[in-house]
Chains A and B, each alone.
Chain A
Amino acid sequence: MPDLKEFTRVISDHHSSLRYFIQGLGVNASWVDDVAQDAFLVAYRRWEEFDEVENPGAWLRSIARNLVLNETAKRHRRQRLLDENLTTLLLDAENGAPAAGELSDFTHRQDALRQCLGRLTQKARGVIEARYFNDRNSSEIGEEFSMKPVAVRKMLFHARQTLADCLRTRVTDAG
């Protein structure tokens, strides 16, 4: 079993990217931390493998990937996943490593994300804030902004895409 300090350091180094990885597989946002904890529990029990592991992040992702794979077979626990078919397809496409140009961990880019948010139109920023800061759904946001829910959903999607492109540009510029 690992020393608690060492184990805490490993979690500290990898929990953020691991939780992004898990959410990227279509795990319900409210269950992401739970699945991440399960992954660290499996890692704790298989700690004897850790010294042999060249890439701890990839090792943890493979553990998490298989925990999520197990979830797709548990119908009674499907609330952990947004949709088991979707997760199966995302798992199918997942090769364990982020592709070139793929955004995988935003933890250290929060300032950049705030700046990118500032570049959105006022309405798009308001819709994003209502959704992500105030937990409002598209119908509620639509009432506030005099928009049809379907238009709100479209605006949310395109705003996120604009933000992702903005972040990618900043990463490229910084690199």
Chain B
Amino acid sequence: MQAEIPDELIDLLERLSEGDLDESGRGRLAGMLSETPELRTVVKEHFLMSRALSQLERTESDFAEKTATHVAKIAAESEFGFAKKVTGKIVRQRVAKILAAVAVIILAAVPAFLLLQPEKPIVAILVRMDSEQGVVSARAVKAGEKLEETSGLMRLDFNNGAVIAVEAPAKLKVVSAMEIALDTGKLNGWCPDTAHGFKVTTASADLTDLGTSFGVTATQNGKAQFMVLDGEVEVQKGKDKMRLTQGDAVKASTRDKLSNTPFDPSDFKNTWPLAQGIYATKGAVVPANPDVPEKVALMESDDHVLVIPERRAVPFTLPLRVDIVDTGTLPGTIPEAVHVIKPKPGKHLSSFLIRYDPVGTFPDDYFKKFEGEVTFDRPIMAIATEKATLEGTDAVFAMGKWESKYRGIELDQIKNPPDSVTLSPNRRTVKVTFYAGASTDEIRVILEDRKQDL
């Protein structure tokens, strides 16, 4: 049976063929093919059909004769030509030609050698981020590959759905699709049902995921810390085992037993958002600080609009009422209307709140402009911007109870221009302009999970 072909794959594939796909898109395309191997056959067939169509109106010239003559000439130059000319040449030239001949032999021999070697499976896609967390490159990673970075952030998207975000300096080995050996550095992991049992090993102790979001740090002197932000893990050192649930943390060293340590997830300020699916933020919009979900849901800031992860991998079984389904700007190119999205059995959703909520309270006439944007790792399906649609989707996505007289954004304000929300053409980035202070502003961004996010 042919695999379901997502519209996103179609667009990425066509843009790649036109030479118009950036690194982020390339990484996304590779990720989709990695997670759904059946799609590779689809892609291959489209390459073949593209060739057939481009050749249809072209007359095939004498390729065989030309190639045979060309190949015979090159082969003769490289081998027989060398034998004729070598006499009388200076030693330097002779060495250079010998090296060239050896290179030719190796070039011919290496493929045969490689053919006999069992290739290690591709288990993940490695996405590297620059200092502003923009995607700079993406490539496949095979089991057994070692990674060593001196600076920056990177994310490993495993085929089984596990997501590991790493902050350099870091040294680690991707042992298999279900295991990372962390030598030094810090990482955040998130594992869906399909990756339960995922392991992170260190010099002093090992962590096994039991359905969770966790953080691990490892230092050169063999010390490690493990903490759970959501769900449960098991940490083991020899026969010594501890089960940790959210808000727990333990430390380990090569000499001492496992012991509890205060839960302080601030070390994961950069990796946690990346593991959650936040690729980049700009301007006044920043990720919430890492913590357990109930605390994250209530975070406040006087100076920033926070991006707050909510529920992840929620089965899409109920209709959703939302305000934005198309790309563009509200108010502006997007008309004010409520849309009902029908459920799609088998699909899963995740959501993020983008919210300004000050720590204190301000006078009724205090308003400040906040402008910024956030880019996610997967396409945005819809956005709820009004009190009614936010409350209507709370039951599905909210991590905590949230009661406020003012919810959503204001499209018609007396003292200020309207708040606005823009969904980018590639559906990955949301830009917001909030006039807030006396009031809170918030929207809920709903993303359709990829198969690997489940």
Nearest B residue to A158, CB-CB: B10
- Taking CB atoms, residues of chain A closer than 8 Å to B64 are 8-9, 11-12, 15
Contact A33–B63 (Cβ < 8 Å):
yes
Alpha-carbon distance between A7 and B40 when the two chains are bound, in angstroms: 33
Nearest CB of B to A165, in Å: 10
Contact of B33 among A46, A86, A102, A160 (CB under 8 A): A86
Alpha-carbon distance between A137 and B45 when the two chains are bound, in angstroms: 20
Q: Check B122 for interface membership: any CB of A closer than 8 A.
A: yes
Nearest A residue to B12, CB-CB: A153
Contact B67–A15 (Cβ < 8 Å):
yes
Nearest CB of B to A133, in Å: 5
Stretch at the interface among B51-59, B368-376, B384-392: B51-59
Q: Check B49 for interface membership: any CB of A closer than 8 A.
A: yes
Chain B: residues with Cβ within 8 Å of the partner, total of 62
Decide: A41 near B11, CB < 8 A? Known: A11-B67, A84-B139, A90-B44. Answer: no
Contact A138–B14 (Cβ < 8 Å):
yes
Q: Which of B20, B26, B56, B67 has the most chain A CB atoms closer than 10 A to its own CB?
A: B67
Alpha-carbon distance between A23 and B69 when the two chains are bound, in angstroms: 23
Contact A42–B108 (Cβ < 8 Å):
yes
Nearest CB of A to B356, in Å: 32
Contact A44–B72 (Cβ < 8 Å):
yes
Contact B30–A102 (Cβ < 8 Å):
no
Contact B49–A89 (Cβ < 8 Å):
no
Nearest B residue to A84, CB-CB: B139
Alpha-carbon distance between A32 and B75 when the two chains are bound, in angstroms: 20
- Taking CB atoms, residues of chain B closer than 8 Å to A164 are 45, 49
Q: Check A174 for interface membership: any CB of B closer than 8 A.
A: no
Contact A156–B14 (Cβ < 8 Å):
yes
Contact A83–B26 (Cβ < 8 Å):
yes
- Taking CB atoms, residues of chain A closer than 8 Å to B43 are 26, 86, 90
- Taking CB atoms, residues of chain A closer than 8 Å to B119 are 92
- Beta-carbon contacts under 8 Å, A82-96 to B: 82-86, 88-90, 92-93
Alpha-carbon distance between A5 and B115 when the two chains are bound, in angstroms: 29
Q: Which of A42, A85, A114 has the most chain B CB atoms closer than 10 A to its own CB?
A: A85
Alpha-carbon distance between A41 and B105 when the two chains are bound, in angstroms: 12
Alpha-carbon distance between A46 and B13 when the two chains are bound, in angstroms: 36
Nearest B residue to A1, CB-CB: B75
- Taking CB atoms, residues of chain A closer than 8 Å to B44 are 24-25, 90, 93
Q: Check B414 for interface membership: any CB of A closer than 8 A.
A: no
Alpha-carbon distance between A104 and B140 when the two chains are bound, in angstroms: 26
Nearest A residue to B44, CB-CB: A24
Alpha-carbon distance between A26 and B37 when the two chains are bound, in angstroms: 15
- Taking CB atoms, residues of chain B closer than 8 Å to A50 are none
- Beta-carbon contacts under 8 Å, A31-69 to B: 32-33, 36-37, 40-42, 44-46, 62-63, 65-67, 69
Nearest CB of A to B309, in Å: 27
Q: Using a CB–CB distance below 8 Å, which chain B residues touch chain A? A: 5, 7, 10-11, 13-18, 20-21, 26-27, 29-30, 33-34, 37, 40-41, 43-57, 63-65, 67-72, 74-75, 104, 107-108, 110-112, 114-115, 119, 121-122, 125, 138-140
- Taking CB atoms, residues of chain B closer than 8 Å to A110 are 52, 55-56
Decide: A133 near B75, CB < 8 A? Known: A11-B67, A20-B51. Answer: no
- Taking CB atoms, residues of chain A closer than 8 Å to B27 are 85
Alpha-carbon distance between A82 and B8 when the two chains are bound, in angstroms: 18
- Taking CB atoms, residues of chain B closer than 8 Å to A46 are 108, 112
Alpha-carbon distance between A114 and B57 when the two chains are bound, in angstroms: 10
Nearest CB of A to B402, in Å: 36
Alpha-carbon distance between A61 and B262 when the two chains are bound, in angstroms: 59
- Taking CB atoms, residues of chain B closer than 8 Å to A124 are none
- Taking CB atoms, residues of chain A closer than 8 Å to B57 are 132-133
- Taking CB atoms, residues of chain B closer than 8 Å to A9 are 64
Nearest A residue to B26, CB-CB: A83
Contact B41–A93 (Cβ < 8 Å):
yes
Nearest CB of A to B76, in Å: 9
11 A-B pairs with C-beta separation under 8 A: A15-B63, A20-B52, A24-B45, A42-B108, A86-B43, A88-B122, A90-B33, A92-B122, A93-B41, A153-B15, A157-B5
Q: Which of A86, A99, A113, A128 has the most chain B CB atoms closer than 10 A to its own CB?
A: A86
- Taking CB atoms, residues of chain A closer than 8 Å to B48 are 20, 23-24, 103-104, 106
Contact A138–B18 (Cβ < 8 Å):
yes
Contact A113–B52 (Cβ < 8 Å):
yes
- Beta-carbon contacts under 8 Å, A128-143 to B: 128, 131-133, 137-138
Nearest CB of A to B176, in Å: 16
- Taking CB atoms, residues of chain A closer than 8 Å to B49 are 103, 106, 160-161, 163-164
- Taking CB atoms, residues of chain B closer than 8 Å to A133 are 56-57
Contact B11–A154 (Cβ < 8 Å):
yes
Nearest CB of A to B121, in Å: 7
Contact B111–A42 (Cβ < 8 Å):
yes
Q: Check A121 for interface membership: any CB of B closer than 8 A.
A: no
Q: Check A146 for interface membership: any CB of B closer than 8 A.
A: no
Alpha-carbon distance between A79 and B37 when the two chains are bound, in angstroms: 24
Alpha-carbon distance between A44 and B77 when the two chains are bound, in angstroms: 13
Alpha-carbon distance between A117 and B70 when the two chains are bound, in angstroms: 36
Contact B140–A89 (Cβ < 8 Å):
yes
Nearest A residue to B119, CB-CB: A92
Alpha-carbon distance between A41 and B21 when the two chains are bound, in angstroms: 33
Contact of A29 among B15, B50, B122 (CB under 8 A): B50
Contact A8–B65 (Cβ < 8 Å):
yes
Alpha-carbon distance between A85 and B416 when the two chains are bound, in angstroms: 49
Nearest B residue to A93, CB-CB: B40
Alpha-carbon distance between A120 and B7 when the two chains are bound, in angstroms: 20
Q: Check A172 for interface membership: any CB of B closer than 8 A.
A: no
